[in-house]
Amino acid sequence: QVQLVESGGGLVQAGGSLRLACAASGRTISSYTMGWFRQAPGKEREFVAGIFRSGTYPRYSNSVKDRFTFSKDSAKNTVSLQMNNLKPEDTAVYYCAGASRAILSSQTRADAYDAWGQGTQVTVSS
């Protein structure tokens, strides 16, 4: 099973930027569908962005499209999430996730992923 460790969270003002990184170990992420999820207090964990293991183009939730950029570096076994023009509603704990099995129709469902990082807090002040 792959182990995932996130970094890069913090406190930023609205309109600012942050870059989250997820370092994988134990298995290569090339064999995983990878994704970023977030969970705000009192809310369910929601899909932010991700890419199928054989995919070329990332998928984004409507709430972050055109502001966030997902990238994968198979050589370094890492994925990252560049977040620009951050809004207070982006405040949440952000999680890196990996799915080892085919999840074609379940890419945005948290229960389709079997590997999770510990999460990193992102707080956007208004």
Q: Where are the beta strands (DSSP E) in the chain?
A: 3-7, 10-13, 18-25, 33-39, 46-51, 59-60, 68-73, 78-83, 92-99, 115-116, 120-125
CA-CA distance, 90 to 83, in Å (whole number)?
10
pLDDT value for 102: 82
pLDDT value for 105: 83
Interval 63-82: pLDDT, tens: 999 999 999 999 999 999 99
Q: Can you list the residues of the chain whose pLDDT is less than 50?
A: none
